[in-house]
Structure 1
Amino acid sequence: MVTKACMPLVLKEKGRFVNTASVLGRIAFLNSSYAISKYGVEAFSDVLRRELYRTGVKVQIIEPGAFTTSIWGTARRLAEQKAAGLNLPAEVRSQLPDDALAQLTRPFEMIEETGSTKLHLVVDAYCHAITAKFPKKRYQVGNDAKYFYWLLWNLPECISDFYIDWLGANSI
């Protein structure tokens, strides 16, 4: 709705749209809801860029890797509270692994433990996307995005699936 509302002005000025996705919009694991929303941003941005190709309007996607912010601790605590408050039938509970809660909260803990604190890298990517004469179509931000995740989405899926499972980065 925001894109549609801004479209006349952006077209008139041959401006830009800069959307924030995530590396998890390129390779999905950890949290399915989050990955789906980021895949949606990727798809929307790609289609928008192609629709506006001949207009002079540019569309960039910022794809940050893991950055440690206070949101992850809050999200982990909410997941713990939600899981603790679930009144699942005994039949469903019996099918869950003993460490179901740990598996649910592990992705948040991984990001808190391994995420970068260099938030200025994301800001720098935005600044470049907004002001550069020749901006990139995609900005993978953070070393994990540039190297680790890039490798995962370029490896054969059987290898990336094995590696993600080996890391214990699958959610239930």
Structure 2
Amino acid sequence: MGPTAPTDWLDIEHFREPIEVNLIGLINVTINMLPLVKQAKGRIVNVSSTGGRLAFCGGGYCPSKFGVEGFNDSLRRDMKAFGVKVSCIQPGLFKTPLTDLEKILKEKEVIWNRLPPDTKKQYGEDFTDAAKKEKLTKACLNTDISLVVECMEHALTSLHPCAHYVVGQDAKWFWTPLSRMPAGVQDFLLLRNREEPAVSHRK
């Protein structure tokens, strides 16, 4: 997943790893297997995220998943002529090691401690304490990972697989509907979940 933090806390290496693994790695595996998949008129099932529809955090994770969505859409259209069905799984937030809030906050704290004093001053020393609340993330966590597996099974075995599988109550009733709303509505709801930097209150 890589660290999730405000963009101006990060450097290019924080973005590189999640993009290399989640996007470049996925593309590399896919294109190397394509000749065999086309020959067999098989299926391709890639895993994106609701973070590929709506950037709910800073860092490399959401850009990598937006890339997966774009790659998967173009691949699906390219493969139609060869009888290859392409699906994309879009899970919401599930309780896994990736969403371990304690680990996420520790990564964020390490980055915070390395920031220059001017940046810390802009955000305010109490910014990281406020970030520990993460109310929305806690409220949205799904615990039944079998829902994702069931979608994968359907995509692989059903006569008419879906192009997209939206998985999890949070994905169906919050993230996906929010991704279709105007940017102003998205910003208002997502920013309510986090403390604003101290600088935003100054003229």
State how 1:132-147 maps to structure 2 within 5 Å. 132-147=158-173
Q: Is the 8 A contact 1:67 1:111 kept in 2?
A: no
Distance in 2 between residues matched to 1:58 and 1:76, nearest whole Å: 39
Q: Which runs of 5+ in 2 are unaligned?
A: 1-27, 198-203
Match of 1:152 in 2: 178
State how 1:14-163 maps to structure 2 within 5 Å. 14-73=41-100, 74-84=103-113, 86=114, 88-102=115-129, 107=134, 110-163=136-189
Distance in 2 between residues matched to 1:41 and 1:170, nearest whole Å: 30
Corresponding pairs, count: 168
Q: Is the 8 A contact 2:155 2:162 kept in 1?
A: yes
Aligned sequence identity (%)? 35
Q: State the Cα distance separating 1:29 from its structure 2 match.
A: 1.7
Q: Secondary structure at the match of 1:52?
A: helix
Structure 1 residue ranges (4+ consecutive) displaced by more than 4 angstroms after TM superposition: 103-107
Q: State the Cα distance separating 1:39 from its structure 2 match.
A: 0.2
Q: 1:137 to 1:96 in 2, by over 3 A?
A: same
Q: 1:56 to 1:50 in 2, by over 3 A?
A: same
Q: Is the 8 A contact 1:106 1:169 kept in 2?
A: no
- 1:4 counterpart letter in structure 2: I
- 2:163 counterpart letter in structure 1: K
Distance in 1 between residues matched to 2:130 and 2:78, nearest whole Å: 41
Distance in 1 between residues matched to 2:196 and 2:168, nearest whole Å: 22
Q: Is the 8 A contact 1:25 1:36 kept in 2?
A: yes
Tell me which of the two structures has the higher relative contact order, counting C-alpha pairs closer than 8 angstroms and 6 or more residues apart.
Answer: 1
Q: 1:104 to 1:59 in 2, by over 3 A?
A: farther
- 1:144 counterpart letter in structure 2: D
Q: Is the 8 A contact 1:30 1:169 kept in 2?
A: no
Q: State the Cα distance separating 1:30 from its structure 2 match.
A: 1.8
Distance in 2 between residues matched to 1:21 and 1:13, nearest whole Å: 24
TM-score (norm 2): 0.74
